[in-house]
Amino acid sequence: MNAVSSEWTKFWSVRSTWWCLISGVLLMLAYSGAVGLAANAGVERSMAPHAVVTGAAFYLTQFAVVALATLVITSEYASGSIRSTLQWVPARNRVLAAKSAVLVPVLFGYGVLNTLLGVAISAPLIPERDSSVGEVLATSAGMGGYFALLGLLCLGLGTALRSTAGTIVTVFVLLVMIPMFAGSLGGEDAVNYFPGFAGVNAMLNSGEPNPVFGGVAPYARWVGIALCTAWAAAGLAAGSTVLRRRDA
pLDDT in tens, 164-222: 999 999 999 999 888 888 777 776 777 888 998 888 888 876 666 565 555 667 888 89
- What is residue 138's predicted lDDT score, i.e. its pLDDT? 87
CA distance 62 to 171: 11
CA distance 34 to 38: 6
Separation CA 157–CA 174 (nearest Å): 11
Q: So where are the chain's domains?
A: 1-245
Of how many residues is the chain composed?
A: 248
Q: How confident is the model at residue 95 (pLDDT cuts 50, 70, 90)?
A: very high
Question: Which residues have a Cβ under 8 Å from the Cβ of 76 and sit 6 or more positions away?
Answer: 82, 85
DSSP state of 48: -
| CA geometry: angle 117, 38, 52, nearest 5 deg | 40
* Over residues 108-131, mean pLDDT: 84
What is the reported pTM? 0.92
Residue 117 has pLDDT above 60, yes or no: yes
Q: Specify which residues 216 forms β-bridges with.
A: 209
Give the Cβ contact number of residue 31 at 10 Å: 22
Q: Residue 108 CB: number of other CB atoms within 10 A?
A: 20
Query: What is the pLDDT confidence band of residue 128, given thresholds at 50, 70 and 90?
Result: low
Q: What percent of the chain has pLDDT over 90?
A: 48
42 or 22: which leads in pLDDT: 22
The number of CA neighbours under 13 Å toward the Cβ of 88 is: 14
Mean confidence (pLDDT) of the chain? 86
Q: What is the DSSP letter of 211?
A: T
Residue 135 φ/ψ, nearest 5 degrees: -65, -40
The SS3 of residue 158 is helix
Query: 157 with 239: CB under 8 angstroms?
Result: yes
Check if the beta carbon of residue 229 is closer than 8 Å to that of residue 245: no
Mean pLDDT score, 133-160: 93
